[in-house]
Chain A
Amino acid sequence: QVQMVQSGAEVKKPGASVKVSCEASGYTFTSYEINWVRQATGQGLEWMGWMNPDSGNTGSAQKFQGRVTMTWDTSINTAYMELSSLRSEDTAVYYCVRQGQWLGNYWYFDLWGRGTLVTVSS
């Protein structure tokens, strides 16, 4: 079954870090880029960054640069997103998303994890 299984909900204090995991199954892990998208309660979708498990490249939105780290372990088909210096505004559901492609350069998000709720509260 093609799916992305994320780690469970987290509660963190302001200033702490959180690391969310995302285990991919049912497809070749290194054949697809993985993106991270978050959604605050009742709000829209916000793209955070991407990682390519094959090339080793990563990139993130300017808003998160310096605070987000994306890593992976190809031996267990798992991606990780760590966000540091947490503040209350980081409270959100964090999704890992597989990036599909059409004709080599049209990209889209075709497989989503169920999301991980991260709550930042003192």
Chain B
Amino acid sequence: DIQMTQSPSSLSASVGDRVTITCRASQSIFNYLNWYQQQPGKAPNLLIYAASNLQTGVPSRFSGSASETDFTLTISSLRPEDFATYYCQQSYSIPYTFGQGTKLEIK
């Protein structure tokens, strides 16, 4: 199985900050990488697919990039509604594994 390792596990930031979350795959996954946001008590919501493609309706302050087996999710200027948990997921091979999550909290 492909292991997905996110860092950090938690992050404190303020409204207006720029934040970056990293996800590393245990092997090459050729940009088959998705990012999801999960608010407490809610189902996850797709933000980015294929490493850098913004899902329809997702604000442009979210962006994704890739370099080899390392992937990043960047939020350019945090808004209050962005404080949530973020997960990466590889869709290169079954089983489709997720990272352990990054909890973004208000400082």
Binding site for B on A (CB under 8 A): 35, 44-47, 50, 59, 61-62, 95, 100, 102-103, 106-110, 112-115
Contacts and interface: CB of A to CB of B under 8 A. Distances in A.
B100 A109 contact: no
A109 B94 contact: no
B91 A62 contact: no
Interface residues of B, number: 24
A84 B64 CA distance: 39
Contact of B50 (A46, A61, A62, A106): A106
A113 B89 CA distance: 18
Contacts of A47: 89, 95-98
Interface string B66-107: 000000000000000000000101010011111111000000
22 contacts: A35-B96, A44-B87, A44-B98, A44-B99, A44-B101, A45-B89, A45-B101, A47-B89, A47-B96, A47-B97, A50-B94, A95-B44, A102-B50, A106-B31, A106-B32, A107-B91, A108-B46, A108-B55, A109-B34, A112-B44, A113-B43, A115-B43
